[in-house]
Amino acid sequence: MKYSRLTKEQFEELHQEFINFLVAQQIDKKEWDEIKEKKPQLADQELDIFSDLIWEGVLTKANYLEHYSKNHIFLFSCDAQKIDTIVIKSLKQDVDFLSQKGLQWLSDAVFTDEVEVKYGAKEFDSDRNTALFEIIQQGAILSEGVLYEEFKEMLKL
């Protein structure tokens, strides 16, 4: 398995897509129920293959990621070859970017000495989608890139 198995909730959300996946493999409901009961390893294998297909599609379409922690915000923009990163750091230890209050503070203090903003870019060392998946595994979420683009504009990148 290249990525990770989808959660139960994700499978429930993608119920129809999973049915279509099984149909494409010529597996009907009766046969799927039989596989689950008599060949659980094969059922697990099918779930893993489907999960990888979904992850591959999501990651291929991903252009922006965001990761928030107490004192840092990491904004990522990626194309086929490289990933650009804007790192926003609060130099005030009591600020918490995981709260609405912390984000409001950032909005008010972004151009002060209490906020450090850095930019970097690097080529993907390996497979792009694997690299993005690793960032997601560390807590990043997919985004529309609004905050990234706002900071890019402010920094005149």
What is the pTM assigned to this prediction? 0.87
- What is the percent of the chain where pLDDT is above 90? 91
pLDDT digits 0-9 by tens, 2-40:
999 999 999 999 999 999 999 998 999 999 999 999 999
The answer to whether residue 48 scores a pLDDT higher than 90 is yes
- Domains of the chain by residue range: 8-61, 64-155
Q: What is the pLDDT of residue 156?
A: 82
pLDDT digits 0-9 by tens, 84-94:
999 999 999 99
- End-to-end C-alpha distance for the chain, whole angstroms: 38
pLDDT digits 0-9 by tens, 114-144:
999 999 999 998 899 999 999 999 999 999 9
Task: Give Cβ neighbours of residue 39 (< 8 Å, ≥ 6 apart).
Answer: none
Q: What is the pLDDT of residue 155?
A: 84
Q: What is the pLDDT of residue 143?
A: 96
